[in-house]
Amino acid sequence: MAQASINGIALRGIVSALPTGVEDVTHLAARFGAEQAERIAAATGIRRRHIAAPGQCMSDLALPAARELLDGLGWASDSVDLLICVTQTPDHPLPATACLLQNRLGLGRQCAAFDVGLGCSGYVYGLWLAASLLSSMGRGRALLVAGDTTSRTLDPQDRSVAPLFGDAGTVTALEWDADAGPLTVDVGTDGAGGPYLIQPGGGARQPDGPLLFMDGTQVFAFTLREVPKAIASTLAASGRTIADIDHVVLHQANEMMLRRLGAKIGAREDQLVLALADRGNTSSATIPLAMTDALAPSLTDGERNLLLCGFGVGWSWGTTVWRTGPARVCRTILVNASGEIIPAG
């Protein structure tokens, strides 16, 4: 596994955006039967998911989230030096969605913008990339976009995936700050797991091939085998123990899996964040979405020790231990099909 420790990277804010469309257990009951729908919800802990409207891309969620974040921070659009977009559902095969967002946001031409095609581990990889680039410059600001519209990639009649995945777009603001605490990252890959969580169709090898496939048993086995070791390795590299961590935010895929992982790493119940019941698995967005949903008061109050860990499709995994804060902006918004922000509730 690759490890790095980077100083001087401050979290300034996060805004998560959800589409207004919703599917819940009653919708699943109409497709799979009430008994089966309840059984799935009980097993996964997922009862409700936000689903993008027809024609609504991840970038259409990220755009208002980024504007809300820039406005909340008081950052001028030409002050952003870096835009990284982590997604597996880009607007187009080319150009990069990051380039389209750079233009739609009115960011300066000096802004470096590129896509990263990762899913469940992608937020941590994105943090690592953004932190490394800001550190290499010794200055600057970055926007890390992470999210997917996974509902577009699956068969709604496939009960192994349809009840699990929701859509979201998130934007995280990072800034070089010499006084910011350290960010320790540990990442790993085992491409032998590729066939067990895959969308075979839509790429150059099979342009019109099958939709999303997942072998849940293999995913569960991989997670319990690799993730606790990766977390232990990252904690050791950071010089901390699990007792030093304020919040443990794992990829929000399945409640039973998260509780098993929490027990294996020795996390207390008050440390472990569970925020998937109304969101489902939003791929690369799950970690920042869980932070805006469940941790906004804490993250805006002061410095916090965070343990973030994403894992899944690839197989790919990434963990970070990060002392950071306080964030100045941390919220979840709803975005309709026209791109307007809708008041929650």
Tell me the pLDDT tens digit for each residue of 264-306: 999 999 999 999 999 999 999 999 999 999 999 999 999 999 9
pLDDT at 263: 97
Which pLDDT band, with edges at 50, 70 and 90, does 151 fall under? very high
| CATH no., domain 1-338 | 3.40.47.10
**Domain ranges for the chain:** 1-338
Contact 275, 250 (CB under 8 A): no
Checking if the pLDDT of 345 tops 60, the result is no
Q: What is the mean pLDDT of residues 169-183?
A: 96
Tell me the pLDDT tens digit for each residue of 32-42: 999 999 999 99
Which pLDDT band, with edges at 50, 70 and 90, does 209 fall under? confident
pLDDT at 344: 65
Q: 3-class secondary structure for the chain? A: CEEEEECCEEEEEEEEEEECCEEEHHHHHHHHCHHHHHHHHHHHCCCEEECCCCCCCHHHHHHHHHHHHHHHHCCCHHHCCEEEEECCCCCCCCCCHHHHHHHHHCCCCCCEEEEECCCCCHHHHHHHHHHHHHHHHCCCEEEEEEEEEHHHHCCCCCCCCCCCECEEEEEEEEEECCCCCCEEEEEEECHHHHHHEECCCCCCCCCCCCCCEECHHHHHHHHHHHHHHHHHHHHHHHCCCHHHCCEEEECCCCHHHHHHHHHHHCCCCCCECCCCCCCCECHHHHHHHHHHHHCHHHHCCCCEEEEEEEEECCCEEEEEEEEECCCCEEEEEEECCCCCEECCC
pLDDT at 158: 95
Asked which of 1-5, 70-74, 176-180 is least confident by mean pLDDT, the reply is 1-5
Checking if the pLDDT of 5 tops 80, the result is yes
Catalytic residues: 120, 251, 281
pLDDT at 181: 87
- Which of the pair, 315 or 343, is modelled with greater confidence? 315
Percentage of the residues of the chain whose pLDDT score is greater than 90: 97
Tell me the pLDDT tens digit for each residue of 191-207: 999 999 999 999 999 99
Tokens at residue 111, please? 């802004």
Percentage of the residues of the chain whose pLDDT score is greater than 70: 99
Tokens at residue 326, please? 């306080």
Q: What is the mean pLDDT of residues 253-257?
A: 96
